[in-house]
Structure 1
């Protein structure tokens, strides 16, 4: 159900309904404690803009009983659907991914339906970055990358923190949080800084930070990325599965329980389409050249993947690989009982 997000100094209440906020002036509450404003006349805006208002006091409390009617809540959600409908596909996906959970489901289920195979990232991956000799205007091709980056600011308290710039540069170079590479992000960020302007909806999705503060942050981030040149390869890079020795010449080091679409997002790479009875295979290369394979169960939507190393000399210790996948892909590799299970397979 909606929650009381906070109050202004004059007593105006701000109620969160999904990703929106409804402002209710003190005089708009009737004797029964309900909002007397007609559903069609409510003042609705994005919830992320409320904290940017001067003298706003955040409270996050349970909504007083009867303050908003069912029709008024429906009107706020309808406004939200209209807002999302004006966004690009990438912006809409990002907005809905970070939409606050007030217990009010997003009305248009077709938009939030889980993506099906193949590769759920297809619609979000940017085109290859333009060559360095391209005209500056070419950098405008992916303004949604700026929006994606700035939407993550809802988790940030202070954009001025110097460590934040270091962490953000690491994240882009390592390719941890976003599908696009640093080579794709950089032109869009540099263009925004040079133009001293942000793409539409950036400020609304940035958790209450002003355009001036966001541009200052982006300017420092671009400078940090320039300082880091030449950039390292992403932490994980998918390669042709044919480079894997063979499944028979592999050493299992554990397994991970995860849906195939979530796994593809975690490692920022797709599984190739396979025949119905074949096992999906994804081969990744770590920065030091170590190969690691992820093999799924032979079914259309596997939820368990075996983690393999080549059964060859000169491989990194299994523990190092497990830590690497946890750090750069957030994968929790399980291995309890693996040795016993493998022994039973060999004995059978």
Structure 2
């Protein structure tokens, strides 16, 4: 029927759908949770101390219940949103599959990263695999299994938290750039709506961010959990700063390779494999690929939304002196005594 086709066209993308796919269990849980206005979806809900859109919250609950077996060889890439997640996924993916898909200074035309967005190659637990109450078949994953998540440590599945061998790579970014990038990202997705969704006022969402009300926030609590774990369990949790990766990408890539058990041989160093991975995964290269300029994720986001600038210090173009002072003060207070400097 024509009317049915029209209704299908007018459905919002999955990342904006809320009640349509919720289980009764999730509905009961969210009814008890504090909520605030959302940056993208209608509301954020506070669960286990952190804020989630309702569709992601259902993915968190499903993931906690059903991700019951963590393998020793599993690798988890953890970030707060807009901390360099896409870049980290590309680098770790290229690093771990380089035997099957060699990378040198001249890129293999069949490399998966040339034809797939990094978010499809390294899926999010709570946003991709377990979203909409799905139970994925993880037996099809190659070894090592690569997973991504924005989850704070407190909300990881118990099997991950109790594992003594799986590896966690945590990528952190200066909160001023995180805020700026998140503001741009959510506004970009809002503006892509056929209905012409209203964009977020920077002052309003800045106040929310400072109060900890942001996607998977509070930012500082999220960061501190993994920072402290990396100091106590350095053999299993590696803490990396986005700014350090931008400044010395080769050094950071080699550190990541050694930590994950994928160190480079002398022959690989000589043949330019490190430089090849960095070139393949560079912002300029990935952002210019056809898949990333015109493709979409299954949830409806345009791939190009994940490539804006990828630089350090873009906050200077958008934040007032008063905003900078306030965010720097909060960061100093939150990280005081931790040994973490940003």
- Do the two structures share a fold, i.e. TM-score over 0.5? no
Name the TM tier (shorter chain): under 0.3
Q: Of the two structures, which has the highest relative contact order with CA contacts closer than 8 Å and spacing of 6 or more?
A: 2
Greater radius of gyration (CA): 1
Q: Which has the higher helix share?
A: 2
TM-score between the two structures when normalised by the length of structure 1: 0.26
TM-score between the two structures when normalised by the length of structure 2: 0.26
